[in-house]
Amino acid sequence: PGAATPAWDVMLKARDVIDGVKLTNYIAGSALTSAITLTSCPAVSVPCGFDAFGRPVGLQIVAPARQEALALHTAAVFEQLAGLNLLLPIDPRPGTVPPT
């Protein structure tokens, strides 16, 4: 699943604070997007832009149950139409992404 927050520094396992609220565990930060998995529907996350720090922002595409091919096809079409399939990913090495 995607995340309901901007990407965090690659040196962190997960966000521990969202909007000033301390998270008790990793799942607490992904409850919104992880709920999709309970529906048995396939989901794929694709880049749809970048935040102010140049970190990727994603779009989660959800298809009906057992329609994995549709989810993947939709994701590929979105990336092509948005021109994001031509971009290079960010450099994940320490020090290349501003801290949050």
pLDDT value at residue 47: 82
User: Would residue 23 count as lying in a domain?
Assistant: yes
Residue 7 is assigned to a structural domain of this protein: no
Residue 94 lies in a domain: no
Report the number of distinct structural domains present in the chain: 1
pLDDT, position 76: 93
Higher per-residue pLDDT: 86 or 69: 69
Residue 68 lies in a domain: yes
Q: Is residue 33 part of a domain?
A: yes
| Residue 14 near residue 29 (C-beta atoms within 8 A) | yes
- 71's CB contacts (< 8 A; 6+ apart) are 42, 43, 44, 61, 62, 63
CB 26 within 8 A of CB 18: no
pLDDT band at residue 89 under the 50/70/90 scheme: low
Backbone angles phi, psi at 59, to 5 degrees: -120, 130
State how far the Cα of 80 lies from the Cα of 94, in Å rounded to an integer: 30
Consecutive H or E run containing 62 = strand 56-62
Select from 10, 74, 11, 83 the least CA-distant residue to 41: 74
Within-domain flag for 91: no
Query: Residue 73's pLDDT is what?
Result: 98
Residue-range definition of the domain harbouring residue 21: 17-86
The tens digit of pLDDT for each residue in 10-35 reads 777 767 777 788 877 767 667 767 77
Q: What is the pLDDT of residue 98?
A: 55
In tens, the pLDDT along 29-78 reads 677 677 787 888 999 988 887 788 777 788 899 999 999 999 999 999 99
